[in-house]
Amino acid sequence: MTTLHMPPWRRRTSWTQRKWAPLPARETSAPLLTDWLLSTGLCVGLAMILPGSMAPWALAALFSVAGYVWLAFAITQSGAPADSPHLTAWDAALLSFAASFSVQTASYLRVFSP
């Protein structure tokens, strides 16, 4: 007696196989890099409207939030984090966290002070 009966997976037709075929690395890295640059630009733009003494720390916090958003997107939408020939959402999350760490380090070393 089986307690869990799962029906067989539906086979993909040739049209859906062509539709979901992986794209070459040049075609898949550019949109993700563009999306990451747009989210980074949004973080920088929001931090620019703040007072000068608070802007670096707010920028680091915004980069961290963007990193968590990219991480949530990677967990829910993206594939495996390793062995990918192109940039993935995992890489975008890593870039956002690295940018946040860089801004925090620069602020601690007083690079942004006049």
Residue 36: inside a domain: yes
Residue 97: inside a domain: yes
DSSP code at position 11: P
Using the predicted structure, report yes or no on whether residue 42 has a pLDDT greater than 60. Answer: yes
Residue 47: inside a domain: yes
Cα angle 95-100-105, degrees, rounded to a multiple of 5: 125
Residue 97 neighbours by CB distance under 10 Å: 17
Tens digits of per-residue pLDDT, 49-79? Answer: 988 888 899 999 999 999 999 999 988 886 7
Using the predicted structure, report yes or no on whether residue 10 has a pLDDT greater than 70. Answer: no
Q: How many domains does one find in the chain?
A: 1
Q: What residue numbers bound the domain in which 50 lies?
A: 27-108
Residue 11: inside a domain: no
Residue 101 neighbours by CB distance under 10 Å: 14
Residue 92: inside a domain: yes
Residue 21: inside a domain: no
Q: What is the pTM for the complete model shown?
A: 0.71
Write the burial class of residue 112 (CB in 10 Å: 0-12 exposed, 13-18 middle, 19+ buried): middle
Helix and strand numbers, DSSP H then E, in the chain: 4, 0
Quick one: pLDDT at residue 53? 84
Residue 49: inside a domain: yes
Residue 19: inside a domain: no
Task: Identify whether the C-beta of residue 59 lies closer than 8 Å to the C-beta of residue 43.
Answer: yes
